[in-house]
């Protein structure tokens, strides 16, 4: 039975006919990663399963159980099993085969976990939040900027199990990159864990650079001539998306620091040096996010101040025009009273004189308000 077939047996999936077809596909294309944004072409949660010895990929024609027995008997090599959104039933056989802790298995299946690092005997369980930037032509009050997913990693002395949740963050390109460097891959499962952590953190930096472009655009719009009319929903939406990114990046600091500094059985000292580089990149991402948060707060305050200034400007204009209109209104109100004896009421030039006085008074008020900037 092929390794793909044995995986189906372990996870208890599908029918025999579908298994043969999958096994044939695996034999024809042994180096193709079977990742998929939604579900694996294997018809199950299994994305790929490969055995490595001395950093070199062993042809995928070995029974999975036999492969695990072989690496444990010889003490050489390890098995890398990749899964995508497995169910309890699909993961049960794999958990039994690799002796995974039930609490870690539950977290891996349920997802929606906080980034963390946990020890269960000789097995290390790590949770990473993956992020990707959602392309959009223009930021609106409902634009999605950051999309998140999860990668759970089980690391033992002779195996690596990756469980991915979400429609992005495929590890196929990462697997191919590692296979192109057998020397690094020969360092064991810890090298895979480092590569995943480095890949995830590099994505953080890529996303923060893209988010910075959006924030710069919002800042430019706020301080433009029509900045007071900018929809504040764009700023709030940017802060919400930044909060989503912050939830993925900030909690990962402690786990990566532990991997870089604390002695861990499955992580040799030579690999810890690489984790220190990952930690440096993670700190940079955290600092950028903190700076973005402060900048958005400043942009929001500036926008609110602009709105207040614009409202005051409008109120000054309204007040000035009301004062101008008040002069003819007062004069017309006085001469609209029904008294028989009023000055100039029956004078021939009374009407032109009153109109002239009203026009001169309105013009004087208008020029005065223009001089002080109210109109």
Segment 245-256, tens digit of pLDDT: 999 999 999 999
Q: Is 264 helix (H, G, I), strand (E, B) or coil?
A: strand
Joined tokens for residue 372: 């002080």
Residue-level pLDDT at 228:
66
In a domain, 193, yes or no: yes
Long-range contacts for 31-35 (Cβ within 8 Å, ≥24 apart)?
A: 31/57, 31/176, 33/170, 33/171, 33/172, 33/173, 33/175, 33/176, 34/172, 35/82, 35/84, 35/170, 35/171, 35/172
Q: Give the C-alpha separation, 78 to 191, whole Å.
A: 11
Q: How far is CA 305 from CA 78, 129, 216, 300, in A?
A: 61, 37, 19, 9
Residue-level pLDDT at 22:
31
The residue with greater pLDDT, 39 or 213, is 213
Give 339's DSSP letter: -
Q: How far is CA 111 from CA 129, 219, 298, in A?
A: 10, 36, 35
Among candidates 155, 188, 160, 177, which has minimal Cα distance to 270?
Answer: 188
Lowest mean pLDDT among 3-17, 60-74, 291-305, 319-333: 3-17
Among candidates 73, 80, 252, which has minimal Cα distance to 172?
Answer: 80
> Is the CB of residue 208 less than 8 Å from the CB of residue 258?
no
> Is the CB of residue 187 less than 8 Å from the CB of residue 267?
no
Residue-level pLDDT at 164:
92
Joined tokens for residue 16: 């025999």
Joined tokens for residue 155: 């690391």
pLDDT at 162 over 90: yes
Q: Are residues 108 and 194 in the same domain?
A: yes
Q: Give the C-alpha separation, 128 to 113, whole Å.
A: 9
> Is the CB of residue 45 less than 8 Å from the CB of residue 90?
yes
pLDDT in tens, 321-367: 888 888 888 888 777 777 677 777 777 777 788 888 888 888 888 88
In a domain, 222, yes or no: yes
Q: Are residues 148 and 164 in the same domain?
A: yes
| Final residue of a structural domain among 269, 285, 307 | 307
Among candidates 131, 176, 123, which has minimal Cα distance to 150?
Answer: 131
Q: How far is CA 49 from CA 3, 41, 58, 79, 191, in A?
A: 7, 13, 10, 7, 17
pLDDT at 10 over 80: no
Q: Are residues 110 and 243 in the same domain?
A: yes
pLDDT at 300 over 60: yes
Residue tagged 């800042």 (tokens): 219
Q: Are residues 196 and 294 in the same domain?
A: yes
Domain that holds residue 330: 308-372
| Final residue of a structural domain among 273, 307, 341 | 307
Residue-level pLDDT at 254:
93
pLDDT band at 101; cut points 50, 70, 90: very high
CATH of the domain at 271: 3.30.460.20
What is the count of structural domains for the chain? 2
Q: Where are the beta strands (DSSP E) in the chain?
A: 46-53, 56-58, 78-84, 116-120, 123-133, 146-155, 159-165
Q: Are residues 59 and 189 in the same domain?
A: yes
Give 26's DSSP letter: H
| Final residue of a structural domain among 287, 307, 327 | 307
The residue with greater pLDDT, 205 or 307, is 205
> Is the CB of residue 369 less than 8 Å from the CB of residue 326?
no
> Is the CB of residue 276 less than 8 Å from the CB of residue 253?
no
> Is the CB of residue 46 less than 8 Å from the CB of residue 82?
yes
Question: Nearest 5°: phi and psi at 50?
Answer: -140, 145
In a domain, 48, yes or no: yes
> Is the CB of residue 288 less than 8 Å from the CB of residue 208?
yes
Q: Are residues 295 and 357 in the same domain?
A: no
Look up the pTM and report it.
0.73
Q: Are residues 368 and 246 in the same domain?
A: no
Residue-level pLDDT at 121:
87
Percent of the chain exceeding pLDDT 90 equals 28
pLDDT in tens, 51-79: 888 888 887 545 667 778 888 888 788 99
Q: Are residues 327 and 216 in the same domain?
A: no
DSSP H or E run through 270: helix 269-335
């Amino acid at each position: 039975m092929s390794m793909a077939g044995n995986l189906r047996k372990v996870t208890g999936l599908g029918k025999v006919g579908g298994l043969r077809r999958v096994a044939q596909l695996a034999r024809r294309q042994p180096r193709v990663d079977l990742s998929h944004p939604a579900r694996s072409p294997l018809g199950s949660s299994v994305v790929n399963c490969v055995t490595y010895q001395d950093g070199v990929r062993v042809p995928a024609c070995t029974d999975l159980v036999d492969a695990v027995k072989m690496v444990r008997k010889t003490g050489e090599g390890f098995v890398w099993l990749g899964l995508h959104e497995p169910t309890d039933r699909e993961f049960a056989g794999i958990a039994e085969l690799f002796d995974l802790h039930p609490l870690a298995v539950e977290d891996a299946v349920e997802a929606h976990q906080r980034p963390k690092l946990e020890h269960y005997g000789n097995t290390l369980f790590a949770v990473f939040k993956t992020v990707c930037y959602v392309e959009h032509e223009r930021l609106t009050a409902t634009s999605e900027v950051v999309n998140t997913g999860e990668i759970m990693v089980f690391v033992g002395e002779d195996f690596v199990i990756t469980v991915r949740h979400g429609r992005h963050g495929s590890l196929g390109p990462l697997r191919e990159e590692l296979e192109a460097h057998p020397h690094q891959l020969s360092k064991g499962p810890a090298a895979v864990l480092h590569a995943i952590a480095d890949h995830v953190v590099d994505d953080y930096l890529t996303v923060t650079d893209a988010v910075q472009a959006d924030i710069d655009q919002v800042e430019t719009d706020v301080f433009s001539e029509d900045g007071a009319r900018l929809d504040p929903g764009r700023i709030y939406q940017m802060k919400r998306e930044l909060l989503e990114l912050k939830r993925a990046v900030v909690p990962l600091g402690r786990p990566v620091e532990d991997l870089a500094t604390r002695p861990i059985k499955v992580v040799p000292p030579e690999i810890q040096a690489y984790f220190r580089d990952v930690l440096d990149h993670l700190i940079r991402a955290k600092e950028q996010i903190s700076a973005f948060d402060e900048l958005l707060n400043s942009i929001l305050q500036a926008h609110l101040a602009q709105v207040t200034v614009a409202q005051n400007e409008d109120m000054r204009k309204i007040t000035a025009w009301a004062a101008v209109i008040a002069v003819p209104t007062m004069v017309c109100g006085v001469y609209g009273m029904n008294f028989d004896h009023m000055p100039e009421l029956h004078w021939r030039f009374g009407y032109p004189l009153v109109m002239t006085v009203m026009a001169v008074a309105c013009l004087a008020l208008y020029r005065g308000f223009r001089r002080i900037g109210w109109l």
